[in-house]
Amino acid sequence: MLSCKDTSELVSRSMDEELSWRERMAVRLHLLVCGACRHFTAQMAFLRRAARRYPGGVDRRDQESR
Binding residue for Zn ion, selected from 19, 34, 38, 44, defined by CB under 5 A: 34
Residue 34, phi then psi, degrees to nearest 5: -125, 105
2 sits near Zn ion (criterion: CB under 5 A): no
Which ranges constitute the DSSP H helices of 1-66?
4-14, 21-33, 35-53, 57-65
4 sits near Zn ion (criterion: CB under 5 A): yes
26 sits near Zn ion (criterion: CB under 5 A): no
Q: Min. distance of Cβ 2 from Zn ion in angstroms?
A: 8
Distance CA 52, CA 8 (A): 20
Binding site for Zn ion (CB under 5 A): 4, 34, 37
